[in-house]
Amino acid sequence: MSLQAIETKREVIESRARIRELVFGIQDGLISTVGLLAGVQGATESATVVIITGLTAMFSGAISMAAGSYLSSNAQKEIFDKELREAEILAEKEPYLAAEGLLKSLSQEGLSREQSYGVVKQLLRQEQVFLRTFQEKVFGLGSAEINQPLKAAMVMGASFIAGALIPIVPYFALQGINALYFSILLSALTLFVVGLFKGYLAAKSPILSGIQFFAVAVGAAGLGYLIGLVVQYFFPGITIPAG
Amino acid sequence: MSMVMLGKKAPGFSLKGVLQGRVSDYSLESYKGKWLVLFFYPADFTFICPTEVTGFSKFASEFRAEQAEILGVSVDSIDSHRKWAEELGGVEYPLLSDENKEVSRAYGVLDEQEGVCLRATVVINAAGEVSYLVVSHTNVGRSVEETLRVLKALRTERLCPSDWKPGEPTGDLKLKY
């Protein structure tokens, strides 16, 4: 890696942290829509009805997922911010305690006490440098982990829409049972591809990642469907939507 | 545990120590006839109360004027003591290395959980008995001047009223008759 690449790496890592919202959004959009469409398709002849139902669910789902992502990300951010502030106050009021804390943290990781002391002594020459290091090392408040709630929400919303559109698209071109099969096939393929992409990013075997991703997503959806069937068996009259 | 020691013979020890860069052996035996201030502290290379070590160093000559020697003890290695003394700009008394923690345990000043000494000061009289013992929780620094005051009071071997300061009368004058 060149020095320049090292310097820009941080932004790359931070942007790749968005993978969480991406995967979550696509997977949820995909699975919930496939199930919904399968159910609706069985109940109606009209492709238009299926499409409109799908799109409606897509929009409402995307909004609710985005809101959830925003709220959870924001909650975490606010708590983090408070911890960061408290760390700053501690370092100001009891600098020797903060210094000793960083010293302990370094020496626990393997640096000798003497070396740790030297490092902390140097860091103490510049308040901000010491503070950032203290927050990151001792409290684990790394800034790359700090959430950006709005960005998270946008990624989640967009990913959900993308994931939801995939099973809907075949219904524009095909009719009835063919559309369903193609919808399912396309969804399965998408799951596999997302797993592949994640494998590439994580430098793991893409094929295995694809299969694993597919298996978990389908397995979970299948389990949900099975539970629905079991409940319907014991309580006939209750209909569980396949989403 | 250490409280039981008061008035009894101080536990013997023989440890390696460093004074101004030179390593020697130090044992309780060699201090017979002299008063000894044994000063236990948690660790070298710390930001918490390193001023104690330098504090005692500044007053070293005054302790010597009272026929008393100071020995600093922690569980750190000789090498650590040597570098720490250097970092502090020199220490006027030996720093002993109780690496296997036996001496600290014998004096009842080892924090078993952390594996380091508590902040303890033991004053041993010329007959080798423990005359005074102060132990505090790790974050409170000790007063060197107080230790010196107590040493002087102990050396008068007379009854000293509370907050006695050198130069003040000893004994209870009200008990004259």
Residue B23 β-bridge partners:
B18
**Residue type for B66, please?**
E
For the cut 50, the answer to whether the pLDDT of residue A243 exceeds it is no
Q: For residue B138, give the nearest of A109, A89, A107, A96 by alpha carbon.
A: A96
Q: Which residues contact A115 (CB under 8 A, 6 or more apart)?
A: A106
pLDDT value at residue A236: 74
Instruction: Tell me the shortest Cα–Cα distance from A139 to chain B, in angstroms.
Output: 19
**Smallest CA–CA distance from B80 into chain A, residue:** A114
Whole-number pLDDT of residue B80:
94
The pLDDT, as a whole number, for residue A63 is 96
Q: Report CA A18 to chain centroid distance, whole Å.
A: 6
pTM of this structure: 0.68
Minimal Cα distance from B79: which residue of A? Answer: A114
- pLDDT of A240 reads 60
List of chain A residues whose C-beta atoms are within 8 Å of the C-beta of residue B43: 113
The predicted structure's pLDDT at residue B3 = 59
Tell me if A160 sits within 8 A of A28, measured CB to CB: yes
Q: Which residue has the higher pLDDT, A44 or B177?
A: A44
Shortest distance, CA B163 to any CA of chain A (angstroms): 32
Residues of chain A contacting B45 with CB distance shorter than 8 Å: 103, 113-114, 116-117
Size of interface A-B (CB pairs under 8 A): 29
> Which comes out higher in pLDDT, residue A122 or A231?
A122
Q: What are phi and psi of A186, to 5 degrees?
A: -60, -40
Q: Sheet containing B95-97: which strands, arranged edge to edge?
A: B22-27, B14-19, B95-97, B68-74, B35-40, B119-124, B130-136
User: Looking at residues A11-38, what average pLDDT do you find?
Assistant: 84
To the nearest whole Å, the CA of A100 is away from the closest chain B CA by 6
> Which phi and psi angles does B46 have, rounded to 5°?
-135, 155
Torsion of CA A78, A79, A82, A88, to 10 degrees: -120
Cross-chain residue pair A100–B47, CB shorter than 8 Å: yes
Residue of B nearest to A113 (CA): B45
Q: What is the pLDDT of residue A49?
A: 87
- The verdict on A96 touching B (C-beta cutoff 8 Å) is yes
CA distance B43 to chain A (A): 9
Per the model's pLDDT, the better-predicted residue between A181 and A232 turns out to be A181
CA distance readout (Å), B172 to B152, B155, B159:
18, 17, 7
Q: How many domains does chain B have?
A: 1
- For chain A, count helices (H), then strands (E): 10, 0
* Rounded mean pLDDT, A5-34: 83
The separation between CA B12 and the C-alpha centre of its own chain, rounded to angstroms, equals 14
CA nearest neighbour of A40 among A64, A56, A62, A27? A56
Angle between helices A47-93 and A127-137 (to 10 degrees): 120
Contact B47 A99 (CB under 8 A): yes
Q: Do A97 and B48 touch (CB under 8 A)?
A: yes
| Arithmetic mean of pLDDT, A75-84 | 87
Residues A194-209, mean pLDDT to the nearest whole number: 85
* Separation in Å, CA A54 to CA A22, A77, A165, B99: 20, 34, 8, 73
Cα distance between residue A36 and residue A230, in whole Å: 18
Nearest residue of chain B to residue A97 (CA atoms): B48
Q: Which residues in chain B are contacts of A95 at CB distance < 8 A?
A: 47
B117 included as an active-site residue: no
Helix/strand/coil for B76: coil
Does residue B175 lie within any of the structural domains? no
Least Cα distance to A34 among A184, A221, A182 occurs for A184
Q: pLDDT band at A222, cuts 50/70/90?
A: confident
H or E element at residue B73: strand B68-74
Average pLDDT score over residue span A68-93 = 88
Confidence of residue A238 (pLDDT cuts 50, 70, 90): low
The pLDDT of residue A157:
94
Any B CB within 8 A of A100 CB: yes
In B, which residues are within 8 Å of A117 by CB distance? 45-47, 87
H-helix or E-strand containing B96?
strand B95-97
Q: How far apart are CA A90 and CA B28, in angstroms?
A: 43
> Letter for the amino acid at A63?
I
pLDDT at A242 over 60: no
Candidates B79, B88, B78, B84; CA nearest to B55 is B88
* Distance separating alpha carbons of residues A113 and A104, to the nearest angstrom: 8
Amino acid at A91: A
Q: Give mean pLDDT, residues A137-151.
A: 76
Q: What is the mean pLDDT of residues A3-18?
A: 76
Please tell me the distance in Å from B172's CA to the nearest CA on chain A. Answer: 45
Q: Residue B69: inside a domain, yes or no? A: yes
Alpha-carbon gap, residue A32 to B80, rounded angstroms: 64
Q: Is B43 on the interface with A (CB under 8 A)?
A: yes
Which domain covers residue B85, as residue numbers?
2-170
Return the CATH number at B114. 3.40.30.10
Asked if residues B48 and A100 have their Cβ atoms less than 8 Å apart, the reply is yes
Asked whether residue B176 is assigned to any structural domain, the reply reads no
Interface test with B, best of A90, A100, A102, A114 (most B CBs within 10 A): A114
Average pLDDT over chain A, rounded to whole? 85
Q: What local confidence, expressed as pLDDT, does residue B105 receive?
A: 92
User: Smallest Cβ distance to A114: which of B45, B47, B48?
Assistant: B45
- pLDDT, mean of each 10-residue run, chain B (177 residues): 75 94 93 92 87 88 92 94 92 94 92 89 91 80 83 80 75 62
**By CA distance, what is A102's nearest residue in B?**
B47
Judge: A117–B46 Cβ closer than 8 Å, yes or no. yes
